[in-house]
Amino acid sequence: MDLITPEFGLVFWTLVTFFILLVILKKFAWKPILGAVSEREEGIKNALASAENARIEMENLQSDNERILKEARHEREVMLKEARELKNKIIDDAKEEAKRQSDKLVRQAQETILTEKKAAISDLRAEVAKVSISIAEKVIRGELSDADKQEKLVNSMLDDNSLN
């Protein structure tokens, strides 16, 4: 027997064994192996699809975040502008109110000064009248103590009345 040239029986039984092994493998091993491979392939496809969806969702979220951030900045600017306008309005109102109050105080002070001036003038007139009467009384007493002076005073008064 030569090892280099196989005989027909050896080839036949090798082929029969190979086909039997092939049938057994096909029946018991190929389905689970192919199922596992296809399951693995599906898992990879699903993972890639999920990753793509996650990437798209991430891009959407990022654009949404940018949009929300722009809106928030805009709202902040609007709120700051409104706050500045409100501050300026409050300051202007306070200035106007202070001016009204100061004008009112000035008017009241002027009225008080005028009233006090009138009272002082009235008091001064009364005092001047008292002093004048007192002086006139002293002068008349001095004038009326002498008879010649009395006669001259009466004549002078008569002349004044006749002229008027």
Determine the straight-line distance between the first and last CA of the chain, rounded to whole angstroms: 190
Asked whether residue 126 is assigned to any structural domain, the reply reads no
Contact 141, 147 (CB under 8 A): no
Q: What is the mean pLDDT of the chain?
A: 87
Q: Bigger pLDDT: 2 or 37?
A: 37
pLDDT in tens, 89-128: 999 999 999 999 999 999 999 999 999 999 999 888 888 8
What pLDDT is attached to residue 75? 95
Asked whether residue 85 is assigned to any structural domain, the reply reads yes
Asked whether residue 155 is assigned to any structural domain, the reply reads no
Burial 145-154 (b: 16+ CB within 10 A, else e): eeeeeeeeee
User: Rg (Cα) of the chain, in Å, rounded?
Assistant: 65
Asked whether residue 164 is assigned to any structural domain, the reply reads no
What pLDDT is attached to residue 3? 60
Asked whether residue 139 is assigned to any structural domain, the reply reads no
Question: Is this prediction's pTM over 0.85?
Answer: no
Our count of domains for the chain comes to: 1
pLDDT in tens, 45-72: 999 999 999 999 999 999 999 999 999 9
Asked whether residue 13 is assigned to any structural domain, the reply reads yes
Asked whether residue 24 is assigned to any structural domain, the reply reads yes
Domain of residue 54 covers 8-118
Contact 150, 158 (CB under 8 A): no
Instruction: Give residues with Cβ within 8 angstroms of 149, minimum separation 6.
Output: 143
pLDDT in tens, 15-26: 999 999 988 888
Asked whether residue 52 is assigned to any structural domain, the reply reads yes
